[in-house]
Structures are given as structure tokens and as C-alpha cells.
Amino acid sequence: AAASAAELLCCANARALLDSVDAFLFDCDGVIWKGDKLIDGVPQTLDMLRSKGKKLVFVTNNSTKSRIQYANKFQSLGLSVNQDEIFSSSFAAAMYLKVNQFPPHKKVYVIGGEGIVQELQLAGFTALGGPEDAEKRAQWKSNCLFEHDKYVGAVVVGLDPDINYYKLQYATLCIRENPGCLFIATNRDSVGHMTDLQEWPGAGCMVAAVCGSTEQEPIVVGKPSTFMMDFLLQKFNVSTSRMCMVGDRLDTDILFGQNAGCKTLLVLSGVTTQSTLDDPSNSIKPDYYTNKVSDILSLLGE
Ligand code: PLP
Ligand code: CA
């Protein structure tokens, strides 16, 4: 069936949306901030939603930080957000292993940053690779084997600004040669905002490198996969029909919300433009769209 057109948020439907929702799930980049810059009107909007008793949850695919590091980022931007309200794809990777009873004597090899390593360690797992292997070089010599740890039972791949051939060889050997080794991707975003000015290659390109060498597809724990949603639903007692997912990306955020049966609101303050939304070849349509989250505030006349 063809998706019905998205409705522009207006005074009447904004009021109805607020009345029909108990929890708002916010994507972060492109909604709350862009890179390291807060988006206009966000603090006031979050305050208003909290004052109306709405539960707020923050779901980000950016794996470079742990939840503790995100709580600090929120605080440095002047937003008071509790660690329990934050679901990052770095945390999701650790929780995936926990929920699936990954044996504690096995190790996890990381292509990614400190955020993933920290979450794995907080969950009680032994992490190898990541920033530690940033300077390593893969050198091949005849009669000399590249050694990898046979106890690695999972490889987690996320955004890694120091990805190199050594890490690719390490991860590839673990996945191809260690029996039952899991291949987990934090997310597959094509691009991300390192700063507010430009888009940079996202974790999708690092994940694709490992798909190429292993001829395997990863388990994705970030949006649009339902893992984070299932996990956060166990923590909060809210029905998905009374939740609204607010995001700037159709193929991650809006699809994530729709997969779970949430209402969806697209904001045009991030990667999606009006012309992408209107493009007939785009099959993912949010319920509502607006320029930025603080429109909720102005439309309600608050
Ligand atoms: N991954 C990386 C590396 C990023 O830099 C970003 C955004 O900046 C994202 C993913 C997407 O994050 P979010 O889900 O908060 O939009
Ligand atoms: Ca986003």
C-alpha cells in the first residue's frame, strides 16, 4: 500500500499529538544538536514537554560516545538529561551481548571508538582493539602469520576515525575463523555530523568494509533495528501507540518509529530536506513533519 502523505505540523494536529502521546523519543543529531551545536529552542521545548508530564528518551545511532559521555554532552549544552534516558548505539551493542548471554570468558574485538569500549567494559566484557589499535600496522611477511585471539566471540563495528588495515585484518580473521563469532554493527548511517558545518562518512562505510571481507551481513543494533526499541520498552512502562519518535532521517529514525508502531514526526533541521520528503521514490512517510522541534512550542502558543 502507498504510504499516505506526511501532514505539516500545525496548531490543531500539534495539540492532538501532545494529547495522544505519553513519551517522546528524540533522535539527537539533527534534532537536539547538529554536531557540537545546540539547535534553537530545544531547551525550552524539552522543559515544556517535561512540565506536561511527558517521558523523554534520547536515541542516537552515533556510537562514538558512551551514555556517561552523552550525559556530559547534554549537560555542557545546558540540558539536564539523565543517563537512564539515553540510548546510544554503543550502549545497544553491549546490551545486545548481555541480553544474548554472551559468555564473559569470551572477548569482543572493536572497530570503533572509546564509547563502544567503555560500554562493553561497563557491561563486564573484555574489549580488544578500538583506540588501542589506532597506530598498529598490518605487515605481511612470508612464513609469518598475523595472530588473532581465538577467544574473540564477537566483533563490534561502529564509527572509527582511526580505522586501518590492521583492524580490518583482525576483525576479518575473528569473524571468518573463530567458530560462531558474532558480527555486530552499531549502525549503518551513511554520513554523520562531526561538526555542524559538514557531513562526514558514517559507520556505514566501516561496516561495509567488513561485509566485503567476510561476505557476511551484520546484526545491526542501532536504528532502524527494533533491538533498542524492545530494550527500552522493557525499561519504561509506555505503550508504543502512545509514543512519538522525532527524527531527521527517514531510513533510520522514522522507520525505527514506524517499525514499532509509534507516531512519527520528521524535523527538517537535519539531513532530510523538503524535496527528499516530497520525492515520490521515497516510500517512508512520517505522520507529521515540521522545520524544527521548537515549532511544537510556538504552535501551542507556549
Ligand atoms: N554516527 C555518527 C558517527 C554521527 O556523527 C552521527 C551524527 O552526528 C550519527 C551516527 C547519527 O546520530 P543520530 O542518530 O543522533 O542522528
Ligand atoms: Ca539524526
Is-contact 154 120, C-beta < 8 A? no
Ligand 1: residues with CB < 6 A are: 27-30, 60-62, 64, 159, 187, 189, 192-194, 202-203
Q: Can the peptide bond before residue 103 be classed as cis, meaning omega within 30 degrees of 0?
A: no
> Can you give the pLDDT at residue 3?
58
Query: Which protein residue has the closest C-alpha to ligand 1 atom 5?
Result: 192
Closest Cα to atom 16, ligand 1: which residue? 29
Q: Which atom of ligand 1 is nearest to the CA of 223?
A: 14
Give the active site residues: 22
The type of residue at 294 is S
Residue 238 confidence (pLDDT) = 87
- Identify which ligand lies nearest to the alpha carbon of 30: 2
Percent of the chain with pLDDT over 70: 99
- Which DSSP string corresponds to the chain? -PPPPPEEP-HHHHHHHHHH-SEEEEESBTTTEETTEEPTTHHHHHHHHHHTT-EEEEEE--TTS-HHHHHHHHHHTT----GGGEEEHHHHHHHHHHHTT--TTSEEEEES-HHHHHHHHHTT-EEEEGGGGTT-----BTTBPPP--TTEEEEEE---TT--HHHHHHHHHHHHHSTT-EEEES---SEEESSSS-EEE-HHHHHHHHHHHH--PPEE-STTSSHHHHHHHHHS---GGGEEEEES-IIIIIHHHHHHT-EEEEETTSS--HHHHH-TT-----SEEES-TTHHHHHTT-
The CB-side HSE value for 99 (13 A sphere, CA atoms) comes to 13
Task: Dump pLDDT digits (tens) for 5-47.
Answer: 899 999 999 999 999 999 999 999 999 999 889 999 999 999 9
Query: 193 CA distance to ligand 1 centroid (A)?
Result: 6
Question: What residues does 111 pair with on adjacent strands?
Answer: 157
**193 CA: nearest ligand 1 atom:** 8
Give pLDDT tens digits along the chain (302 positions).
445 789 999 999 999 999 999 999 999 999 999 988 999 999 999 999 999 999 999 999 999 999 999 999 999 999 999 999 999 999 999 999 999 999 989 999 999 999 999 999 999 999 999 999 999 999 888 888 999 999 999 999 999 999 999 999 999 999 999 999 999 999 999 988 888 788 899 999 999 999 999 999 999 999 999 999 999 998 888 899 999 999 999 999 999 999 999 999 999 999 999 999 999 999 999 999 999 999 999 999 87
Q: What pTM value is reported for the model?
A: 0.95
Q: Facing residues of 87 across strands?
A: 59
Atom in ligand 1 nearest the alpha carbon of residue 248? 16
Q: Which of 26, 39, 57, 62 to mutate to test the pocket of ligand 1 (most atoms within 8 A of CB)?
A: 62
Please state, in angstroms and rounded to a whole number, the distance separating the CA atoms of residues 102 and 48. 41
C-alpha cell at 128: 580488544
Average pLDDT over the chain reads 95
Q: What is the pLDDT of residue 1?
A: 42
Residue of 26, 29, 34, 66 with the most ligand 1 atoms within 8 Å of its CB, for mutation: 29
Closest ligand to residue 61's CA: 1
User: Which pLDDT score, from 0 to 100, does residue 242 have?
Assistant: 96
ipTM: 0.97
